[in-house]
Amino acid sequence: MIAVLIPTLGRPHNIKRVIDDLEPTAPRNLIDPIFIVEEHDTPTREAIEAIQRTYIINKRSPSYSGAINTAVEETTHEHLFVASDDLHFHNDWYVPLLEFATDFGLVGTNDLHNHDVLAGSHATHYLVTREYAEQGTIDNSAPLLHEGYTHNYCDTEAVATAKFRGQFRPCLDSIVEHLHWVWGLANIDDTYNKGSLYMQQDQALFTNRSHLWT
C-alpha cells in the first residue's frame, strides 16, 4: 500500500478537494491518504475529521520537512508518496511509479510545469520505498528530508541525495500536477508567502550543504 503523505497548514478548504481528487484515481486498498498537520491548526484538523480521514500531528520541526519526517517515523507502509495539498492526481499515476520502485528508491513524478522536472532532472513530488527512507538524509540528521530548510530546497536535496546514491529515477508518465500559485493555478496565501520569504535563505543552505553529494 502507498501512504500518500499530505502536509497541510492553514488550508482547511483544500482538504476535501485533494481527497476528492486523489481517491478516484486508485483502488482504496492501494492508497492510504495521511494528512500531517500542526497541533495549533484546529480548523484544518476539524476539516479532516469532517470527512473521516487520517491525520498525524507533526512532532518535529514546524516545516514541510518536519511533517514528512514525522509521517515517515509513524507509518509502516512499504511505499510513501511525498505529496502536498495542492496537487491534481491523474488516473493511474501510481502504476509506473511502482514499476520503477522495484529498482529505484526515489521515483519522481511529472508536475507538468517545473522545467527541471520536465527535463527529467528533478522532482517536486515523488514515491520513496520504505527501504530507501530508512537510509535517512545524507548526513543522517533526519528520516528523509533535512529540516534546516524553512520550506524550499528540501526536495532538491532529496533528489540530489538520491542521485548521489544511484537511486533517483524520473517518471514523466506519472502525472501529478502541481497546482502552485507561480503557475497561476492557485491564490497566494500565507503558506506560499512563507516559502517566498525564505527562498534565499533556503537556497544558501542548499549551496552550503552541496558538498555532501558532489
pLDDT of residue 181: 73
R_g of the chain computed on alpha carbons = 16
94-127 per-position pLDDT tens digit = 999 999 999 999 999 999 999 999 999 999 999 9
Q: CA-to-CA distance for 135 and 66, rounded, in angstroms?
A: 17
pLDDT of residue 198: 85
174-205 per-position pLDDT tens digit = 999 999 877 787 778 888 877 788 899 999 99
Q: CA-to-CA distance for 106 and 53, rounded, in angstroms?
A: 26
Domain boundaries, the chain: 2-212
Mean pLDDT of 157-175: 98
**CATH number given to 2-212:** 3.90.550.10
Q: What CA dihedral angle connects 202, 17, 101 and 158, to 10 degrees?
A: 0
Half-sphere exposure of 119 (CA within 13 A, CB side): 5
